[in-house]
Chain A
Amino acid sequence: MQLGRVIGTVVATQKHEALQGVKLLIVQPLLPDGNPKGRPVVAVDGTAQAGPGELIFMIGGREGSLVLEKHFTPVDQGIVGIVEELYVAVDAIPK
């Protein structure tokens, strides 16, 4: 799983039927110190409660589709939780 921050939303009306009613969010993956890691990706929101600006964690790969009610969905990033507090050991922060 991967820490990330929700930075935007995506709207698509023409999509796979299993994605109807599913929230699509743009997420910037983060390093432990809060700096960005790579470029933003699009993830489905399994919590249905994440919104722009929030710190979340998400799951990648085929397991990303497990956050939805219908598992048989072409999804490779899914938001599984919203982070309230984060503690990071000083030596875990990349220099």
Chain B
Amino acid sequence: MFIGKVVGTVVANRRDSRLQGLPLLLVRRVDVDLSELAGTVLAVDTVGSGVGEYVLYATGSSARQTERTNKRPVDAVIMAIIDRWDIGGEVKYHKYYGPPEAASGS
């Protein structure tokens, strides 16, 4: 799975009938140091995430393995909203407190 940042929402009324009712979000892949990587995907949201949140998303046929996306034409799905992650014991992101350097820098 990849870490992504939700950067937008998509409104599309004319869509495949099997996609009806599925919320679509634009997700930008980010690195573990919060820098943005190449690759923005449209993903189906299953956990109620919103713009600005950091999420985990799965791609490929794994994306169909939820109750909402089963047997539907979906290749990216958001399945977790990240609270925090750390690298080598150092907190790189925290949803409520922010990374240590960002909290002191800004």
Q: What is A's interface to B at a CB cutoff of 8 Å?
A: 7-16, 19, 24, 26, 39-44, 52-53, 61-62, 64-65, 71-77
Contacts and interface: CB of A to CB of B under 8 A. Distances in A.
Interface in B75-89: 77, 79-89
Contacts of B40: none
Interface of B is mostly: mixed
A9 B81 contact: no
A14 B86 contact: no
Interface residues of B, number: 34
B81 to A, nearest CB: 4
A76 B60 contact: yes
B65 interface: yes
Interface of B: 1-3, 31-32, 37, 46-49, 56, 58-63, 65-66, 69-70, 77, 79-89, 92
A53 B86 CA distance: 13
A62 B65 contact: yes
Contacts of A40: 31-32
B82 A12 contact: yes
Contacts of B87: 7-8, 26
Contact of B37 (A8, A39, A74, A75): A39
